[in-house]
Amino acid sequence: MKLVIDNASQQLACIIELAYLTAIRKSDLLKIRLNDLQADGLHVLPTKTQDSTGQSMVFSYTPRLRDVLNRSKKSRRRASSMYLFATRNGTPHTTSGFNSAWRRLKNKVCLSDVHFHDIRAKALTDAKRKSGSDYAQALGNHTSVETTESYIKTREVNIVEPLY
């Protein structure tokens, strides 16, 4: 992931880092508004698994999350835009526009079989390793552990120390 971030524009690098830290889906990342950065944390209203209450996820600020969000606010965008990640004219990135930028970045670093969605899977895999299945499920905003495991099981590796 370091290779990709090191070769990305400042804004795209921040999107990648925020995707990893929060495991937020691409569509939800691209719609974050500046007023979603509130005193108690980053508020995100997930579109895919919204429950009937329309409840937000609130990501508590950590030093690393604050750093990424601060760099995001300083990245190239129209000052009057209400979006954290915006195009030059201040509108949120479209999926196709973002996918084009992602494809150019992949070509630049010669990684053909890498998908943006892989960042979410990596985040959930690392979350499970760090704090268990419940944490990974909460981070992924999944209603079932089976959904979370579908992200993790194909990517999880047993790390074994050799005998000598």
Token pair of 49 as six digits: 């698994």
Residue 160 pairs in a beta bridge with: none
Where does 46-116 have alpha helices with state H? 63-74, 95-108
Confidence band, pLDDT 50/70/90 cuts, at residue 163: confident
- Please give the sequence-ordered ranges of beta strands (E in DSSP) within the chain, or none if there are none: 37-38, 41-44, 57-59
Radius of gyration of the chain (CA): 17
In tens, the pLDDT along 58-70 reads 999 999 999 999 9
More confident of the two residues 153 and 2:
2
Say if residues 151 and 126 touch (Cβ distance below 8 Å): no
Say if residues 28 and 46 touch (Cβ distance below 8 Å): yes
The whole-number pLDDT of residue 23 equals 95
- Mean of the per-residue pLDDT values for the chain? 88
What is the pTM for the complete model shown? 0.86
Residue 57 pairs in a beta bridge with: 44
